[in-house]
Amino acid sequence: MTADDLPYASSLVFNAGVIRYRGEYVMVFRSDYGTDRDGYENRDQRFTGTAVGVARSKNGVDGWRFDPVPLIDSSELEKDSEVRRFYDPRIVEIDGRLLLCLAMDTRHGIRGAIGEVTEDLRGWRLLSASVPDNRNIVLFPEKIGGEYVRLERPMPVYSRGRDRFDVWLSRSPDLVYWGRSELLLGVEDVPWANNKIGPTAAPVKTEKGWLTLFHAVDRDETRGKNGWEKQWKKRYTAGLMLLDPEDPAKVLSVYREPLIAPDTPIETDAGFRENVIFPCGMIAEETGEIKIYYGASDACVCLATANIDDLLSLLL
Ligand code: BMA
């Protein structure tokens, strides 16, 4: 899916959460708009807004139908509003409630937000937002031990060093009050990541545990211009781990290599920031197929598929 597919103005469509909902697949995606490559590179134009849009499909692969207007649009916020934009949506359905996790840029830092969406996906309300700086909040798709559980990625710049960030886990009785926070996975536990890691898509429940993706970033000072920006030194890959079925704060296994690394032209040679794989959605089909929806190069939405037993065999 690219910006050209949308019924409203968009420059880049990426980082999409997907669930099966009422007989179809519902996707929530990020859309940045307001400039193009030429404007960005040669005329110092920047994006004027970010929206979260909704699309639906019968099979989760093609035939996506777009809602006519975005669910959330930064242009609708007051000019001097504390919140500047919402982005990188993930979606789950828990006990019949549609819950959206969002990154929320504010004038006082980046916050991780959780909202509840109406059944028709045309409206939403904010339930809670973390203190800054925190993003990549991802809810487990069901309560565990009677509590809501989320993954998150605080950004401890002073104590860990700039961009040396880890994945944390917190619990809540009501989606509003979050606590009992624990470190889940440190960046040093991911052999190929020399920069930061973060949560990606809602974990999938299997008999062996929670199949869980994360994103991992390596930085290489020799990388120069990649994509629209003057310099882009990072590479984003998707990693895979297995968490204990009863206590997801226990990591059972981490696959030692990237599960998805940028290697096709759409991931390495095209897009806003090249070499970015950023999954926000994962679905387990009854056939054993796993669908992974990821943003490629901050420019389009891609779908990768795998067999669940193959993925588990990497971890057991
Ligand atoms: C992260 C987020 C993502 C983005 C990624 C790569 O920090 O901003 O939205 O996909 O960087 O640019």
pLDDT tens sequence for the chain (316 residues)? 999 999 999 999 999 999 999 999 999 999 999 999 999 999 999 999 999 999 999 999 999 999 999 999 999 999 899 999 999 999 999 999 999 999 999 999 999 999 999 999 999 999 999 999 999 999 999 999 999 999 999 999 999 988 999 999 999 999 999 999 999 999 999 999 999 999 999 999 999 999 999 999 999 999 999 999 999 999 999 999 999 999 999 999 999 999 999 999 999 999 999 999 999 999 999 999 999 999 999 999 999 999 999 999 999 9
Q: Which atom of ligand 1 is nearest to the CA of 276?
A: 6
Question: Would you put residue 64 in left (φ > 0), alpha (ψ -120 to 50) or beta?
Answer: beta
In terms of Cβ atoms closer than 10 Å to its own Cβ (0-12, 13-18, 19+), residue 243 is: buried
Q: What is the pTM of this model?
A: 0.98
Please enumerate in sequence order all residues whose Cβ is within 8 A of that of 241, keeping only pairs 6 or more positions apart, or say none: 185, 212, 214, 251, 252, 253, 254, 255, 315
Distance (Å) from CA 178 to ligand 1 centroid = 24
The single residue listed with the structure tokens 């939403």 is 124
> In angstroms, what is the span from residue 146 Cα to ligand 1's centroid?
32
Q: Ligand 1, atom 2: nearest CA belongs to which residue?
A: 88
**How many CB atoms lie under 10 A from the CB of residue 75?**
12
Residue type, 272: F
The rounded distance, in Å, linking the Cα atoms of 103 and 284 is: 25
Q: How far is the CA of 297 from the centre of ligand 1 (A)?
A: 9
Tell me, what's the pLDDT at 224?
A: 94
Ligand 1 binding residues, C-beta < 6 A = 15, 88, 236, 273, 276, 278, 295, 298
Q: Ligand 1 mean position to 278 CA, how many Å? A: 8
Give the position, in ligand 1's atom list, of the atom nearest the Cα of 278. 10
User: Ligand 1: which atom is nearest the Cα of residue 15?
Assistant: 10
H helices present in 145-283, as ranges? 157-160, 265-268
Q: How far apart are CA 97 and CA 118, in angstroms?
A: 8
Pairing of strands 234-243, 209-219: antiparallel
Parallel, antiparallel or unpaired: strands 65-66 and 49-57: antiparallel
